[in-house]
Amino acid sequence: MKKLLVFVCYNTFIVFNTFAQLPNGSVAPNFTITDIDGVQYELYDILDQGKPVLLDLFAVWCGPCWSFAEIGVFDDFNELYGNSVFVVAVEADPSTPESDLFGGSSSIGDWTDVVHYTLANDDLIGDSSLYNISYYPSIYLICPDRSVSEIGQFSSGGYWNVQNLADEVFNYTCNPIEGVNLGIQSYNSELNYCSMGTIEPVITISNTGLEVATSFTIETLVEGEVISSYDWSGVLPSQGFEQHFLDEISGEYEQITFNIISSEDVISSDDSLTVTFIPSIESHAFLYIDVKTDYYPGETSWKIVDSDGQEVMSHEYEEGNDNSSGGGGVDAGITFNYSASLESGCYTFMALDESGDGQSSSTSGVSQGYIKVADADGLELLNISGNWGEFKSVNFEVTYGLELEKLAKDRVIVYPNPTFANANVEITLSQSEDVTLQLINVLGQTVLLSSSKMSLGQNTFELPLEALEGGFYVLNTIIGDREITKKLNIIK
């Protein structure tokens, strides 16, 4: 077995076992764990299917554990070989609750941001009666014959990569698989569909056996019935993998199963993969987008793209100059309100954060931020706040409300608020109306009054505020016989 540099993490508040960890080659103790989604797994059941297990035992407070997860080798390996190998990370410190996996008081961060394979919390697995761990992380490879070996930890820029790990799993530590072992490793195409459109499946096939594979068939099944078949012949070497593009299928199917069939194949446990498709959310044509920035507004941006990948709307925020970190500035801690009127079709709303911690930064006077997207009928498409990571998105399809006749209600948005200069009032009407804007100061005096006829849909009015003193004001928007009141803060 290849040797590697091991980084270990000790916690002065945890008393570890003084006995040595499991010797390489010993029989792996069985365990049952339940992951964060409530799915239960038993080690021996997995091994009996002929699948090795990669087990990462870590603690939420352990810096090297976090660095190891951030490297992403297990993620990449699971993406390619996850149908042939069970990859799991288990938080094993009994003194920390499962909630800390999501960024609790003892945790470095939200572990779901850096671990995208099976993730669980278990207070017993590190005990002396099981894996008797002495340090974090402890990383084990457990072979189908139930033998266990500690394979150490990856280091950035070191020996480990996906191919070398595959050699470790399939050749060096576990007994090599004699013959051909074909497996469907991953589905690599879209999972969302729109307007009952079509999807072109892309499937990754691997050969983890010692011999060359020369032919196979991939069947696509719906409810057990074969709807298409793909035949392949060629050369797929040992530890090789390649992607195959299959016939297009209708997006109306909720679930598809892919099977690989070959007379050469020696293990069947990785021959099938089931994929569940997700229909896009049906939405009104008119959207409301509310954004509150955190202390680092320049890190956050958002955009809406259509089904062709073309950007139809986007916004970025101005970076501050606090200690050259980009914190603070005129856009920090400000609530921005936007609206969008979209044509019929499929769209994706994308929220992005350059630092990878969402809008979690806060300081005196500036709290954590959020992004909320809803349509005119009040359907919530996206609602994220705090540490939402580097990227969040939602797929939706505009199917109604294209003429804006049936907006759920009139809406008034004032932005930016607070403001350092002028402000805009965005008024969305369900029908043409006479509208009056009245701005009142803290003394009850009317300092601005404007009336006009506004049309159905979105109307924008600029409030001239340069001559006004700083402080809080009340903006009354009178629409016909209805009145909508908003507070406005002018900072000078």
**Number of Cβ atoms within 10 Å of the Cβ of 460:** 12
Q: What is the DSSP string of 316-370?
A: E-----BTTTTB-STTTT-EEEEEEE--SEEEEEEEEETTSSTB---BTTB---E
Q: Identify whether residues 371 and 444 lie together within a single domain.
A: no
Where are any strands of DSSP class E within 152-197?
Answer: 182-187, 192-193
Of 206, 234, 218, the closest CA to residue 77 belongs to 206
Q: Identify whether residues 305 and 340 lie together within a single domain.
A: yes
- Residue 212 vs residue 336, higher pLDDT: 212
The pLDDT value given to residue 155: 43
Give domain status of residue 21, yes or no: no
**The two structure tokens encoding residue 213:** 């594979």
Of 221, 226, 237, 232, the closest CA to residue 262 belongs to 232
Q: Phi, psi at residue 67, to the nearest 5°?
A: -60, -40
Give domain status of residue 19, yes or no: no
Of the listed ranges 9-23, 149-163, 164-178, the least confidently predicted one is 9-23
The pLDDT value given to residue 5: 35
| Identity of the residue numbered 31 | F
pLDDT in tens, 70-99: 888 899 999 888 888 999 999 999 999 999
Q: Identify whether residues 464 and 432 lie together within a single domain.
A: yes
Q: Identify whether residues 60 and 132 lie together within a single domain.
A: yes
Q: Identify whether residues 320 and 228 lie together within a single domain.
A: no
**The two structure tokens encoding residue 180:** 């051909």
The pLDDT value given to residue 157: 41
Q: Identify whether residues 39 and 150 lie together within a single domain.
A: yes
pLDDT in tens, 160-201: 788 888 888 888 888 888 999 999 988 888 776 676 567 888
What does the alpha-carbon distance between residue 195 and residue 191 come to, in Å, rounded to a whole number?
A: 14
Distance of CA 203 to the CA centre of its chain: 22
Q: Phi, psi at residue 157, to the nearest 5°?
A: 80, 5
Mean pLDDT of the chain: 85
Q: Identify whether residues 161 and 35 lie together within a single domain.
A: yes
Of the listed ranges 89-103, 281-295, 393-407, the least confidently predicted one is 393-407
Of 177, 188, 252, 257, the closest CA to residue 218 belongs to 257
Split at pLDDT 50, 70, 90, the class of 134 is confident
Count how many domains the chain has. Answer: 4
Split at pLDDT 50, 70, 90, the class of 156 is very low
pLDDT in tens, 310-346: 999 999 998 887 766 778 888 888 888 888 889 888 8
Q: Ramachandran region of residue 404, left (φ > 0), alpha (ψ -120 to 50) or beta?
A: left
25 pLDDT more than 50:
yes
Share of the chain above pLDDT 70, in %: 91
457 pLDDT more than 80:
no
Split at pLDDT 50, 70, 90, the class of 11 is very low
403 pLDDT more than 90:
no
Rg, Å, the chain Cα set: 28
468 pLDDT more than 60:
yes
CATH number at residue 421: 2.60.40.1930
What does the alpha-carbon distance between residue 102 and residue 107 come to, in Å, rounded to a whole number?
A: 8
Give domain status of residue 5, yes or no: no
Give domain status of residue 56, yes or no: yes
**The two structure tokens encoding residue 454:** 């506004």
Q: Identify whether residues 417 and 392 lie together within a single domain.
A: no
Q: Identify whether residues 156 and 264 lie together within a single domain.
A: no
Q: Identify whether residues 242 and 115 lie together within a single domain.
A: no
Q: What is the mean pLDDT of residues 244-261?
A: 87
221 pLDDT more than 80:
yes
pLDDT in tens, 340-382: 889 888 899 999 998 888 998 888 778 899 999 998 888 899 9
Q: Of 379, 406, 433, at which residue does a domain stop? A: 406
Question: Which domain range does residue 331 map to?
Answer: 280-406
Give domain status of residue 12, yes or no: no
CATH number at residue 252: 2.60.40.10
Q: Identify whether residues 39 and 143 lie together within a single domain.
A: yes
